[in-house]
């Protein structure tokens, strides 16, 4: 009986005007997104080719991640150059600007945005009247008047409806990935294919939650108009309000000094140590060398930076734990991590830059003469799919799966008590 209900649901959705509109909308958005993000990726590759490190250049810069075409995240910030300046200080490329300034005014139209905002809304629009709509048209009682049980009806309608909704989107994604695969600019490694597969799995779970949420709202209301209003309210709350409110609460619970205050502290260290050096040279020339003063500056700056990094990491972890109750936040963390453009990857890159600075700066101080080939070139490798899953990937996927199951369980319990008359 489940198969019969499932076939009926698929046929009804495929022949509906709603299916045609949503499919056309998603096709246009996916095509436009891949085209825009591919061109943005090409510009960032050109930017990297200009800045890429060479021998005897104390600069740290990494190429853009191919997966950033799907999920840009923090890839543009990570792609900026970090220079080892006089005194062993790390300075980001402040003169570098976005290769696409339009993204500074509007939301980046990558696949993360389409899935998180558009696909979730479409999932709700597909399922908000699944039960309440049939009750209003008086077909629900007729369906249950036969040998069909409520469980079979609900499972069949969910499976059939979700399959008819997610399959067209999956075909569009596969077509887009194939186009990128044959592009000469994008080089997808075997691990990248694993990340794409996991990203798609997260997308299915995320869409499944909103489809189940719409079904739950439909079983808790009696009129389609009421279901639509409640669904839009729930969508706004889950996608926008909870993540932003969670970040605000985290900042209140664990405040962290601003970047401006951090830079002021570093400036004070420079002024203090240079003044101490000048005073010592006046009293007893040669008592304090310039290298010793720079070493103290370097050490104190590292202490300030490590303290700031620890505090900021604590704030980030707290914000993640609070906002992860929203599937939109959990999916964002999962997608950006898989693309190598997330907060964890950025922190890992910064630590690699610090280690590179220590090796270059210490070597430059100790050596009497630095030959051009003696300064190592900065290299960095993004985390593999296995490392990401072992870190927070499994947790974020588990959150998405549990929320989806909880939403469907709520719909199931509600439907068992639903008045179909």
3-state secondary structure the chain: CHHHHHHHHHHHHHCCHHHHHHHHHHHHHHHHHHHHHHHHHHHHHHHHHHHCCCCCCCEECCCCCHHHHCCCCCHHHHCCCEEECCCCCEEECCCCCCCCHHHHCCCCCCHHHHHHHHHHHHHHHHHCCCCHHHHHCCCHHHHHHCCCCHHHHHHHHHHHHHHHHHHHHHHHHHHHHHHHHCCCCCCCCHHHHHHHHHHHHHHHHHHHHHHHHHHHHHHHCCCHHHHHHHHHHHHHHHHHHHHHHHHHHHHHHCCCCCHHHHHHHHHHHHHHHHHHHHHHHHHCCCCCCHHHHHHHHHHHHHHHHHHHHHHHHHHHHHHHHHHCCCHHHHHHHHHHHHHCCCHHHHHHHHHHHHHHHHHHHHHHHHCCCCCHHHCCCCCCCCCCHHHHHHHHHHHHHHHHHHHHHHHHHHHHHHHHCCCCC
- Average pLDDT (206-228) is 93
Are 71 and 110 in contact, with CB atoms under 8 Å apart? yes
Cβ neighbours of residue 10 closer than 8 Å, sequence gap 6 or more = 160, 161, 163, 164
Candidate ranges 94-98, 119-123, 131-135, 351-355; pick with highest mean pLDDT? 119-123
- Average pLDDT (314-332) is 91
- What's the pLDDT at 347? 86
Are 334 and 400 in contact, with CB atoms under 8 Å apart? yes
Inform me whether the pLDDT recorded for 349 exceeds 90. no
- What's the pLDDT at 58? 66
- Average pLDDT (65-92) is 75
- What's the pLDDT at 372? 42
Cβ neighbours of residue 121 closer than 8 Å, sequence gap 6 or more = 210, 235
Report which of residues 184 and 102 the model is more confident about. Answer: 184
- What's the pLDDT at 367? 43
Using a pLDDT cut of 90, give the percent of the chain over it. 36
Report which of residues 84 and 137 the model is more confident about. Answer: 137
Q: What is the mean pLDDT of the chain?
A: 83
- What's the pLDDT at 86? 52
- Kindly report, residue by residue over 23-54, the tens digit of the pLDDT: 899 999 999 999 999 998 998 888 888 777 66
Band of the pLDDT at 369, cuts 50, 70, 90?
very low
Using a pLDDT cut of 70, give the percent of the chain over it. 82
60 phi/psi in degrees, rounded to 5: -120, 120
Cβ of 96: how many Cβ atoms within 10 Å? 15
Q: At what angle do helices 190-220 and 150-181 cross, to 10 degrees?
A: 150
Inform me whether the pLDDT recorded for 383 exceeds 80. yes
- Average pLDDT (377-392) is 90
Report which of residues 276 and 94 the model is more confident about. Answer: 276
Band of the pLDDT at 277, cuts 50, 70, 90?
low
Inform me whether the pLDDT recorded for 83 exceeds 60. yes
pTM, two decimals, is 0.87
Q: Which of 200-204, 205-209, 282-286, 299-303 has the lowest mean pLDDT?
A: 282-286
- What's the pLDDT at 162? 94
- Average pLDDT (244-256) is 86
- Average pLDDT (256-268) is 69
Inform me whether the pLDDT recorded for 115 exceeds 60. yes
Report which of residues 390 and 376 the model is more confident about. Answer: 390
């Amino acid at each position: 009986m489940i198969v019969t209900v499932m076939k009926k649901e698929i046929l009804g959705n495929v022949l509906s005007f709603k299916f045609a509109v949503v499919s056309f909308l998603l096709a246009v958005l996916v095509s436009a997104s891949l085209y825009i993000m591919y061109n943005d990726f090409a510009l960032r590759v050109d930017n990297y080719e200009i800045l890429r490190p060479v021998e005897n250049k104390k600069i740290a810069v990494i190429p853009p991640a191919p997966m950033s075409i799907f999920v840009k995240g923090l890839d543009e910030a990570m792609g900026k150059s970090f220079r080892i300046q006089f005194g062993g200080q790390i300075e980001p490329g402040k003169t570098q600007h976005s290769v696409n300034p339009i993204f500074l005014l509007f939301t980046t139209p990558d696949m993360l945005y389409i899935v998180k905002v558009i696909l979730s809304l479409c999932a709700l629009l597909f399922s908000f009247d699944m039960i309440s709509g049939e009750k209003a048209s008086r077909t629900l009682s007729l369906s249950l008047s036969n040998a069909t049980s409520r469980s079979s009806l609900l499972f069949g309608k969910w499976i059939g409806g979700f399959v008819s909704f997610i399959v067209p989107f999956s075909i569009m994604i596969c077509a887009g990935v194939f186009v990128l695969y044959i592009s000469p600019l994008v080089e997808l490694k075997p691990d990248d294919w694993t990340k794409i597969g996991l990203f798609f799995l997260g997308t299915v779970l995320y869409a499944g939650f909103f489809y189940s949420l719409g079904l739950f709202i439909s079983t808790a209301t009696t009129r389609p108009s009421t279901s639509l209003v409640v669904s839009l309210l729930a969508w706004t709350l889950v996608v926008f309000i909870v993540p932003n409110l969670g970040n605000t609460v985290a900042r209140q619970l664990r405040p962290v000094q601003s970047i401006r205050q951090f830079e002021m502290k570093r400036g004070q260290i420079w002024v203090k140590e240079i003044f101490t050096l000048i005073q010592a040279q006046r009293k007893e020339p040669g008592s304090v060398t310039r290298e010793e003063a720079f070493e103290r500056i370097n050490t104190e700056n590292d202490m300030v930076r490590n303290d700031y990094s620890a505090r900021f990491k604590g704030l980030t972890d707290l914000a993640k734990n609070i906002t992860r109750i929203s599937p939109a936040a959990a999916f964002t963390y999962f997608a950006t991590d898989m693309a190598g453009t997330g907060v964890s990857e950025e922190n890992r890159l910064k630590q690699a830059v610090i280690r590179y600075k220590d090796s270059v700066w210490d070597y430059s101080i100790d050596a009497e003469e630095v030959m051009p080939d003696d300064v190592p070139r900065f290299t960095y490798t993004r985390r593999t799919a296995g490392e990401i899953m072992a870190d927070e990937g499994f947790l974020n996927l588990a959150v998405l799966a549990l929320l989806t199951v909880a939403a469907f369980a709520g719909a199931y319990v509600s439907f068992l008590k639903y008045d179909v008359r």
